[in-house]
A and B are shown apart, each in its own frame.
Chain A
């Protein structure tokens, strides 16, 4: 069974207070690696068998209409084995 993954991230120009809060919590815990942090959403969609081109096109459409808000977010659709 394959999994279609949709990653949704705030557009770079949109303020991400949650990501900023994580970025400022890291050094308090002794982690000093992060220059910045952005927080997003990940959707995992299971389909029967290998995803077809039609299914992927449908997922793209759903990502645009429902899973993301194109005003503030970008998304990427990919298949995970």
Chain B
């Protein structure tokens, strides 16, 4: 199985994401923002970083990159897409996911190991976890506060589309402690903290992030 990892100008975490894909058991395929070809990948990861320098709004310019038009089209047909951190912001700006990510409520850039709880394990990217499973992975961002209107929040909660919540004190002011959400179909997932930095205990706080990258294999085998 081939998993594409997109590099935009300013992307930081593409290498770790590709490494995590390989550790999960798939083949990592590099995609460039200006590509007009998805290179026959079966799934796509939008990694973290500061694409286009976060100019205008995080993810606002990336949304219009040539490769994103293909990703938006493929996601609509059911291809699994995971957006991590800046990738989550791009997915929201692309309207593949509802809501928006805004400045952390205390205005600080946070970089720490964060406990989150997986609350929906039926998506393409979370099936390796048990519902209610708690994992510790890095959280590092300045604009990680998930915001949406009351109607959207009620919809997300009502349809079980929150996939992960922060445990303990709210790190960034996200509504309902939301760390990640999915689309209606469960193939598109956005997550603020970084599972790709937690696949190896030598370099990460745990290896508990690996489940996101093994889940995608389960999704394909089905």
User: Interface residues, chain A, CB within 8 Å of chain B?
Assistant: 10, 13-15, 17-18, 21, 66-67, 69, 71-72
B103 and A71 contacting across the interface, CB-CB below 8 Å: no
Nearest B residue (CB) for A13 = B149
Chain A nearest CB, measured from B181 CB (Å): 13
Chain B nearest CB, measured from A13 CB (Å): 7
Chain A nearest CB, measured from B138 CB (Å): 22
A17 and B99 contacting across the interface, CB-CB below 8 Å: no
> Given A14-B147, A17-B107, are A69 and B173 neighbors across the interface (CB < 8 Å)?
no
Q: Which 10 A-B pairs have the closest CB atoms?
A: A72-B100, A71-B100, A17-B103, A17-B107, A17-B105, A14-B147, A69-B100, A69-B57, A21-B107, A72-B147
Nearest B residue (CB) for A14 = B147
A72 and B107 contacting across the interface, CB-CB below 8 Å: no
Q: A15 — which chain B residues lie within 8 A by C-beta?
A: 102, 105, 145, 147, 173
A69 and B93 contacting across the interface, CB-CB below 8 Å: yes
> Given A13-B149, A15-B145, are A71 and B104 neighbors across the interface (CB < 8 Å)?
no
User: Interface residues, chain B, CB within 8 Å of chain A?
Assistant: 56-57, 60, 64, 92-93, 98-100, 102-107, 145, 147-149, 173
Q: B57 — which chain A residues lie within 8 A by C-beta?
A: 69
A10–B64 Cα gap in the complex (Å)?
22
A32–B155 Cα gap in the complex (Å)?
42
A66 and B56 contacting across the interface, CB-CB below 8 Å: yes
Q: Pick the contact of B173: A17, A21, A66, A67 (CB < 8 A).
A: A17
